[in-house]
């Protein structure tokens, strides 16, 4: 269990809170590049770490991220005109560039020195891996841009998406770091003995701390005497990387045509204390994704085009309709009765309430990765308070990290097999 005050410390993300200041030491996803499809396109509302912002792509293709309200009379900049390398407020015509500088003040006398004093809050942005990343912390602490292997992969091998989740970022991320739950809520193959999740429902976990966070290894003993071993990375403060070389979801072998060798993961990005966006990425590690594969994968995960409310990143299956649970399906075929892997997660994570009370938990041996993560977050918030650098800020710490999974023969040790496979290639 976690003390109530520690639970508050690592869940609240507003400016000035311990965890909020920690998040502001890292580059965070603000939106997908596809949300700003062209120069001078319509601006987009963004809410990130409890702050209301507006994003726009200027005439030169650069992304600006400004506070949501005009510096003049606090009118909403979302309704502004995106033109000639700036966003112009439609209330009185005041215009600001992507750096927050006022470039036109039409209601004041020409040449007024007042223009140089007018500023808006603006955050640095960079585009990598199909995502617009923002840095919202103090300029003197700004790190190098994010440099995960999947952001360096060619576009033919990479895909990103995002989905809205109605709960605190931490309980959402803990679901991703929890290995054992996949044998239960994600068990869509009840009675299928070939499914890896059915053969061993109590994986053994090993956790090794690193400069970026930690890696952890789960081992499942299979019926034929082999072992399914998967090495994951937790990259501070809010990302998990995992391998899909062996198709763990369907229990297929690596040579099956439906088992595309890949790695994938998520970033759980706080919108505010009680909501988050989950940025989902997947990256082929050998050859480009086959035609139609990604659409099928997203649909299987429950976040495909037809799974979303039109023109949003919100799921049609949600708390308002009990995630369309099918009790007959649950009785006869799947453990949860809910369609979509991510949707199954959301049902349980959102069902805990906006911020779960961790002081009432009883943790077990398969919670080692979650326990270590919480300790690292608490450690990191205190480092930031002492003006020290937390884990994972420097891209050099995680640049070479690659997840891996394999089925090992009896007698093979992952510590002998994995080292040659866990170094980034892209």
Residue 273 pLDDT > 60: yes
- Better pLDDT: 3 or 198: 3
Residue 407 pLDDT > 50: yes
For residue 334, what pLDDT band results from cuts at 50, 70 and 90? very high
Residue 175 pLDDT > 90: yes
CATH 2.102.10.10, the chain: domain bounds:
34-141
Question: Average pLDDT for residues 214-228, to the nearest whole number?
Answer: 94
Residue 193 pLDDT > 80: no
CATH 3.90.380.10, the chain: domain bounds:
149-421
Residue 111 pLDDT > 60: yes
Residue 246 pLDDT > 80: no
pLDDT of residue 251: 47
pLDDT of residue 216: 97
Residue 170 pLDDT > 90: yes
Q: Considering the chain, what is the average pLDDT of its residues?
A: 94
pLDDT of residue 249: 47
Residue 360 pLDDT > 90: yes
What percentage of the chain reaches a pLDDT higher than 90?
88
Tell me, letter by letter, the H, E, C secondary structure of the chain.
CCCHHHHHHCCCCCCCCHHHHHHCCCEEEEEEHHHCCCCCCCCEEEEECCEEEEEEECCCCCEEEEECECCCCCCEHHHCEECCCCEECCCCCCEECCCCEEEECCCCCCCCHHHHHCECCECCEEEECCEEEEECCCHHHCCCCCCCHHHHCCHHHEEEEEEEECCCHHHHHHHHHCCHHHHCCCCCCCCCCCCHHHHCCCCEEEEEECCCEEEEEEEEECCCCCEEEEEEEEECCCEEEEECCCCCCCCCCCCCCCCCCEEEEEEEEEEECCEEEEEEEEEECCCCCCCCHHHHHHHHHCCCHHHECCCCCCECCCHHHHHHCCHHHHHHCCCCCCCCHHHHHHHHHHHCCCCCCHHHCCCCHHHHHHHHHHHHHHHHHHHHHCCCCCCCCCHHHCCCECCEEEEECCCCCHHHHCHHHCECCC
CATH classification code of 149-421:
3.90.380.10
Residue 103 pLDDT > 60: yes
Question: Average pLDDT for residues 158-173, to the nearest whole number?
Answer: 98
For residue 254, what pLDDT band results from cuts at 50, 70 and 90? very low
**Which pTM does this prediction carry?**
0.95
Residue 64 pLDDT > 70: yes
For residue 239, what pLDDT band results from cuts at 50, 70 and 90? very high
Which CATH number applies to 34-141: 3.40.47.10, 2.102.10.10, 1.10.287.3510, 1.10.10.10? 2.102.10.10
pLDDT of residue 250: 45
What percentage of the chain reaches a pLDDT higher than 70?
97
């Amino acid at each position: 269990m976690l003390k109530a005050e520690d639970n508050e410390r690592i869940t609240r993300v507003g400016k000035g809170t311990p965890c909020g200041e920690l998040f502001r030491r890292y580059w965070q996803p603000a939106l997908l590049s596809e949300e700003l499809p062209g120069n001078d396109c319509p601006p987009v509302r963004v809410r990130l770490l409890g702050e209301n912002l507006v994003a726009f792509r200027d005439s030169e293709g650069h992304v600006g991220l400004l506070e949501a309200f005009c510096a003049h009379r606090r009118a909403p900049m979302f309704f502004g005109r995106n033109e000639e390398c700036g966003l112009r407020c439609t209330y009185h015509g005041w215009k600001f560039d992507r750096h927050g500088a006022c470039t036109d003040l039409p209601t004041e006398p020409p040449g007024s020195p007042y223009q140089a004093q007018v500023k808006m809050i603006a955050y640095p942005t960079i585009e990598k891996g199909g995502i617009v990343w923002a840095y919202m912390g103090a300029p003197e602490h700004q790190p190098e841009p994010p440099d995960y292997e999947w952001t360096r992969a060619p576009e033919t091998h990479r895909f990103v998406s995002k989905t809205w989740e109605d709960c605190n970022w931490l309980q959402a991320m803990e679901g991703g770091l929890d290995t054992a739950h996949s044998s239960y809520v994600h068990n869509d193959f009840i009675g299928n003995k070939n499914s890896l999740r059915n053969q061993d429902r109590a994986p053994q976990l090993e956790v090794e701390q690193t400069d970026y966070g930690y890696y952890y290894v789960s081992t499942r003993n299979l019926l034929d005497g082999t072992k399914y071993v998967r090495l994951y990375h937790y990259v501070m403060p809010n990302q998990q990387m995992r391998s899909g070389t062996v198709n763990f979801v369907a229990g297929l072998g690596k040579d099956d045509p439906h088992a595309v060798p890949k790695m994938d993961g998520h970033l759980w990005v706080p919108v505010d204390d009680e909501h988050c966006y989950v940025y989902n990425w997947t990256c082929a590690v050998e050859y480009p994704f086959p035609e139609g594969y990604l659409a099928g994968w997203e649909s299987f995960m429950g976040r495909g085009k037809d799974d979303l409310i039109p023109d949003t990143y919100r799921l049609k299956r949600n708390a308002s309709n009990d995630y369309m649970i099918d009790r007959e399906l649950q009785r006869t075929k799947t453990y949860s009765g809910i369609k979509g892997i991510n949707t199954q997660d959301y049902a349980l994570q959102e069902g805990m309430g906006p911020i779960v009370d961790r002081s009432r938990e009883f943790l077990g041996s398969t919670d080692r990765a979650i326990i270590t993560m919480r300790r690292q977050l608490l450690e990191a918030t205190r480092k930031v308070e002492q003006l020290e650098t937390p884990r994972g800020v420097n891209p050099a710490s995680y640049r070479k990290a690659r997840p891996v999974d394999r089925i090992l023969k009896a007698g093979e040790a992952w510590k002998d097999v994995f080292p040659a496979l866990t170094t980034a290639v892209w």
